Structure 1
Amino acid sequence: MTKRLGLAAAALLSLLVSMLIAPAPAHAAVGLRVSGTRILEANGNAFVMRGVSHAHTWYASQTGSFSDIKGLRANTVRVVLSGGRWPANGASDVASVVSLCRQNRLICVLENHDTTGYGEQSGAYTLDQAVTYWSGVRSALTGTEDFIVVNLGNEPYGNNNVAAWTSATTSAITRMRGLGFQHMLMVDAPNWGQDWQFTMRDNAQAVFNADAQRNTVFSIHMYGVFDTAAEITAYLNAFQTAGLPLVIGEFGHNHSDGNPDEDTIMSQAQSRGLGYIGWSWSGNGGGVEYLDMVTNFSAASLTSWGQRIFNGANGIATTSREATFFSGGGTDTTNPTTPGTPSSAGVTSSGATLTWSASTDSGGSGLAGYEIYREQGATDPLLGQSATNSITLTGLTASTQYQVYVRARDGAGNRSANSATTTFTTTSGGGTGGGCTAAGTVQSQWSGGYVVQPVTVTNTGTSAVTGWTVTFTLPAGHTLTGSWNSAATVSGQTVTVRNAGYNGNLGAGGSTSFGFQVARPGGNTATVTSYTCATS
C-alpha cells in the first residue's frame, strides 16, 4: 500500500512538472495578433485599421505618398506589390517600403497583386505562386511582426472555380507558417474580393483553424455588390456572429459594377470597431480614375472621394488612432507649441509662398510637420502639408481672397493650437484676354443625382488665353462623383475646375466645354446654377 501510494505521488509530480515545462501552444502569435473579432498589438492594445491603398508597384518613385497619407491621419497603408506580373518588387525594394512604414509610423499591409482575378483573368498567379514570392522577400520582413501584415494575394479568384478558394487559401497559410512567417496574415475573398457567392463567409472558420498560429484576418472588398445597407450589415453580422476577425480591405464611393454604400460601410465599421482601407491614393486608370483620393499624388488636391474618406463622417481624420507601437504605448500626449502667424510672398493668380516661425515639441516624439488650412468655418479644407516652416501653395483660384492658418503635428499625432490667420488675395491672372464666362445645362437628373453637360466656357476677351478656371458651389448634401474634359478638385462644397491639357487655349471669342456628375440626397431637387470663370 505504501509503495503504491509512493508511485502514485511520483506520477502526479511528474505530470505537474511536465505541465509546467510544456512548450507554448502552437498558436501563440507574436506582434500584431488576432483575438476573437479584434486585432491587438503585441502589448494587448486594440488596433483598428484606418487607411488607404497605395499602388506602389506602378508608382515606386512616389515614396512621399507614405508621409502624405500619414499626414492626413491614416494609421494604415495597404501597399501594392508584384512578383512579376507587373513591375517586380524584390527584397531590396520591399525593405525600403518597410523602412518607409516604420519612418512614417504606419501599420503596413503588404499585398501581392499578382493573384488578382485568378481563373478568370489571363496572366493571374496562383496563391501558391504568391507564397513563393513572399518566400523570396522574407529577408526584408524578418522582425517586422509588430507593424507589418502580409496580405497573401489580392482578390485571388475571379468568378470561375471559386470553390477552390478554400483549399488554395488553406494551403497557402500552411506554407507560410512552414516557411517561418509569424506575421499576421490577411486573406482576400474570391469573386474579385466581393464574395457574392459567400465562399469565404461560409468557409472562414475552417481556413482560420488551418493557421497553426490562429493569426489570420479576413478581408472583404466592398464595391457594387454592397450597394445597400442591408447587404453590408448582413455580411458583417455573419463574421461577428462567428467570432471571426474581418476588415473591409477595399471599398470605394463608386464603381463600374454599381454604387457602393460608402456611408454605411464607414459608419458600420466605426460602430463595430472594424478596420477599413479605401481604394486608393492616386494613379488609377482604366476608367476608374474617379477612385483617386488625390490628384496627381498631391495631398493638397483632395478629390471628392478623398474629402469623403479623410474628412467626412466616420472618416479617417476623426476615427484613426496611431498604433501604440510607434509611440511607446501612447505616452506622448504633449502638444507642440503654436506656430507663428504665416506671412505670404510671391502671390500669383494660382499660388503663394507662406512662411512662419517654427514650433517646438517637448513630448518626446519629435516635430513631424505642419498642416496648412484655409479658414472657412468648422470644416476648414486642408490646403497642404510641409515638413518645414514654409510651403509654396499651388492650384489656387485667381482673384480670390484666402485666409490661412497653420498648425503643427508631432510624431505621436498630437497637434498644436491654430496659428493666427493671415489673409492674401490671388492676382487676376496673366492673360490679357479680359476674362471669360461659364454657363451649364442640366442634361439629365434623377432622385439621387444629376449630370450637367455641357458647361460652356467662353473667352470674352479680345486676345487668346492659355487656360481657364471655373468655380461653383455644390448645394448642401451634394457631392461631386465625376467630371470630364477637365480637372476638378473639391474643398468642402466648393468645386474648382481647370482646363484639361487639350482645351485650355481659347482664342478671342472662342469656347470649349466640360461636364460633371453630382450625387444628392433622395428627393432633393436642387442643382448647380451659377459659375464663376477666370482666365490665365
Structure 2
Amino acid sequence: MAASVLTAPSAARAADAGTAAATGFQVRDGRLLDANGGDFVMRGVNHAHAWYASTTPKALKDVKALGANTVRVVLATGDRWTRNDTADVAAVVDRCRQNRLVCVLEAHDTTGYGEQAGAVTLDRAVDYWIGVQSALKGQEKYVVLNIGNEPHGNSGYTAWTSDTSAAISRLRTAGFTHTLMVDAPNWGQDWSFTMRDNAQRVFSADPARNTVFSIHMYGVFDTAAEVRDYLNRFVSARLPLVVGEFGHDHSDGNPDEDAIMAAAEELGLGYLGWSWSGNGGGVEYLDMAVGFDPSRLSPWGERIFHGPNGIKATSREASVYSGGGGDTTAPTAPGTPTASDVRSGSVTLGWAASTDDTAVTAYDVVRLDGTAETRVATSTANSATVTGLTPSTAYSFAVYARDAAGNRSARSAPLAVTTAPGQAAGACAVTYRVNEWSGGFNADVTVRNTGTAAVRGWQLDFAFPGDQTVRSSWNAKVVQQGTRVRATPEPWTDTIPAGGSVSFGISASFTGVNGAPTAFTLDGAPCAGG
C-alpha cells in the first residue's frame, strides 16, 4: 500500500517442471499451479499482522468463512517496525494452514524505498527471510514468499530490475524453493511500466523460473482500458501476474475495482484486496471489516466478498487442502474451432464444448506460431472473438478448457484462417490532437470511416517522429515498438460505421520536440489527414 495507508499503534527450469514431482507452488506457462499441478487463482485479502498480531487468529478464520482462499500477511523486518521473529512467522503459517488458506508473506519495511524515510532495500528484506528461513522450510505447498512490499517509490525506481533480480538470486542460493512474488515499483503501481517492460528479464533471472509478479492497482488504474491493457500484456507474454493490492477508492484517484475484478476473473488472474481492517492515515475507508468485525462489513467489504466477480462467487480452495488433492481429472479437449465473421483485423471462433466431471469454467484461445503459443482470448462460452490481427494474414488458433478445480485440458486441433483484406486506400481519415505539458502529453485520436462499409476489428498504425513513449491508453489497446505505434479496438470501439468514427486516447511522455505523426494506416491502407 502507498505511504501512510497503515499506521502502527540454475538457468534452466528445475528438472522439467511439467513432469517433475512438485514440492510446492510452481509457475508453468504463465500460470501459478499448486503442488498437485492444478491451476490456482488467488482470491483473498491483505491482513496487517505486523501491527495487529492479536487479531490474526480470528481474522484468518473470518476471511476464510467469507470465502477467501488466500491471505497476504504483512510482516516487519525490524528495520521500521517491530520484527516478526521466526516463532511468530511459524505461528502465522500454522494459522493459515489451520484455516486452509494459502499464505502470501510479505516484508513491509521496503515500502517506498528511495522516497520514504526509513524504508530499506530488497537486499535487507532478503536478510530477513534468511533469518526466519527455518519457519518456512517444508511449507512450500502453503506459502508464497512476497520478497518486499512496494520496494521502490517514485525515486530511483529504475534500479528495480537489477535489485529484484539480485534478491531472487540470493534467495535461491540460500536454498529457498518457494514460489517468489515480486512487487512493482512506483509504490506498487508501476506507472513507469518498469516492471511490465522488464518482467521477462527478471523472470529469466530466477533459476527455478518460479516467480510471480504483483501489481498494486490504485489511482493509476482508474479506467477499464488501463486495467485491461496492463493485465493483458502479462497474459500475452505468458508471464504470471497477481493484483496483489487494490481498493475501491484512494487518495491518489478512484481505481476501477469493477474492471479489476472482472478482468482478473476473465483472464484467470489472482487478486488480493487491501485490506481486512486497521487502516489509518486518512484511508480508513479501505477497511473491509469495521473494527475487525465480520458482521460489520463496509461497502468495500460487501463489494469484494459478495459483489459481481467477488471472492464468494469466484474463489476455489487450493487442492492441497482437499483429501487426495481434490479433482485432478482434466476436461476433454475442446472441438476443433471453426471461424466465422472473418474480418481484416479480427475473427470469431467457435468450438464444441468440453466435457468434465465437474464443470468447465473457461476456455483459453491461443495463437500458434510453430511451437510457440500466445493466449489471445479467454471466454466462459464456447466462442470468442480475437482482435488485433493483420489484414490478409494467415493465422493458426487452438483452444484449451479449464475447470473449477484448475485442471486444464489437452489442446484442441488447430484451425488455420486467413484474415480479410484491409480497408481500401483513402477510405479513412485521422485527426490527432494534443494537450501537452512539460515532458508529457495526452493525444486524442479520431478515426473516420469515409468508405461505404463498416470496418470491424480495425488496426491503426503510425509512427512518432521523435522520442515519445506511450504510458497508457483508453478506448483502444495501444502498443509501441521503437517509434512504431499500433492501436486496436476495445469491444466497445470495435466497429467504425460507414461514414462514422471512433475515438481513443493516449497518455505519453516525450523528450525534445513533441512532433505529431504524419502518416496513418487503417488495416494496412493509408488514411487522409483529419
Which interval holds the TM-score relative to the shorter structure?
0.5 to 0.7
Amino acid of the structure 1 residue aligned with 2:15: A
d(CA) in 2 for partners of 1:37, 1:25: 15
CA contact (8 A) 2:36 2:325 kept: no
Counterpart pick for 1:325 among 317, 320, 323? 320
The partner residue of 1:201 within 196, 203, 206 is 196
Q: What is the rounded CA distance, in whole Å, between the counterparts of 1:45 and 1:129 in structure 2?
A: 34
The match for 1:74 among 53, 68, 71 is: 68
Root-mean-square deviation (CA, aligned residues, Å) is 1.6
Q: Partners of 2:23 and 2:189 in 1: how far apart?
A: 30
Residue 240 (structure 1) shift: 1.1
Equivalent residue, structure 1, for 2:58:
64
Distance 1:147 1:330 in 2: 13
For 1:252-271, what aligned pairs fall within 5 Å after superposition? 252-271=247-266
Q: How far apart in 2 are the matches of 1:261 and 1:24?
A: 41
Q: How far is 1:97 from its partner?
A: 0.2
Matched-pair contact (CA < 8 Å) for 2:66–2:312 = yes
Letter in 2 for 1:121: Q
Q: Which of 38, 46, 49 is 2:39 aligned to?
A: 46
The residue that corresponds to 1:167 in the other structure is 162
1:299 to 290, 294, 301: 294
Q: Deviations over 1:466-488 (max 9, x none)?
A: xxxxxxxxxxxxxxxxxxxxxxx
5+ unaligned residues in a row in structure 2: which ranges? Answer: 1-13, 328-404, 406-530
- Is 1:124 aligned to 2:119, yes or no? yes
Of 199, 207, 210, 2:205 maps to 210
Give the equivalent residue in structure 2 for 1:35.
Answer: 28
Q: CA deviation at 1:331?
A: 4.6
CA distance, structure 2, for counterparts of residue 270 and residue 93 of structure 1: 34
Q: CA deviation at 1:187?
A: 0.0
Question: Quick one: structure 1 residues 275 and 329, their matched pair in 2 at CA, closer, same or farther if it must change by over 3 Å?
Answer: farther
Preserved contact between residue 69 and residue 316 of structure 2 (Cα < 8 Å): yes
Q: Which amino acid aligns with 2:153?
A: G
Q: Which amino acid aligns with 2:139?
A: T
Question: 1:26 Cα shift?
Answer: 9.5
1:52 is paired with a residue whose SS is: strand
TM superposition score normalised by structure 1? 0.57
Contact 1:55 1:80 (8 Å CA) reproduced? yes
- Residues 229, 264 of structure 1: 8 Å contact kept: yes
Give the superposition deviation at 1:327: 1.1
* Deviation string, structure 1 residues 295-317 (Cα, Å, up to 9, x no partner): 11011110000000000000000
Deviation at 1:330, TM superposition (A): 5.7
**Distance (Å, rounded) in 2 between the aligned partners of 1:218 and 1:161:** 20
**TM-superposed deviation, 1:43:** 1.2
Show structure 1 runs of 5+ residues with no match.
Answer: 1-22, 333-411, 413-536
Of 151, 157, 162 in structure 2, the residue corresponding to residue 156 of structure 1 is 151
Give the deviation of 1:38 after TM superposition: 1.1
Q: How does 1:337-486 map to 2 (within 5 A)?
A: none
In 1, distance between residues paired with 2:198 and 2:266?
25
The amino acid that maps onto 1:264 is A
Report deviation, 1:30.
3.1
SS of 1:65 mapped into structure 2? helix
Match of 1:389 in 2: none
Correspondence for 1:464: none
Give the equivalent residue in structure 1 for 2:7: none
- Say which SS state the counterpart of residue 217 (structure 1) adopts: strand
Q: 2:141 aligns with which of 143, 146, 152?
A: 146
Cα deviation digits, residues 379-429 of structure 1 (max 9, x gap):
xxxxxxxxxxxxxxxxxxxxxxxxxxxxxxxxx9xxxxxxxxxxxxxxxxx
Identity %: 67
Q: Does the 8 A contact of 1:26 with 1:212 survive in 2?
A: no
8 Å contact 2:17–2:28 — kept in the other structure? Answer: no
Instruction: Describe the shift of the 1:272–1:329 C-alpha distance in structure 2 as closer, same or farther (beyond 3 A).
Output: farther
In structure 2, the CA distance between the partners of 1:125 and 1:26, relative to structure 1 (3 Å rule), is farther
Kept in 2, the 8 Å contact 1:26–1:213? The answer is no
The number of residues matched between the two structures is: 311
Matches within 5 A, 1:209-248: 209-248=204-243
Q: Distance in 2 between matches of 1:299 and 1:103?
A: 19
> How far apart, in 2, do the equivalents of 1:46 and 1:165 lie?
29
State the match for 2:271 in structure 1: 276
The secondary structure found in structure 1 opposite 2:72 is strand
Q: Tell me how far 1:37 sits from its aligned partner.
A: 2.0
Q: Secondary structure at the match of 1:187?
A: strand
Q: Deviations over 1:413-463 (max 9, x none)?
A: xxxxxxxxxxxxxxxxxxxxxxxxxxxxxxxxxxxxxxxxxxxxxxxxxxx
Q: Which residue of 1 aligns with 2:311?
A: 316
Counterparts in 2 of 1:26 and 1:34: CA distance versus 1, 3 Å? closer
Change (3 A) 1:163 1:103: same
Deviation by residue 1:227-255 (Cα, 9 ceiling, x = unmatched): 00110111011111111000000000000
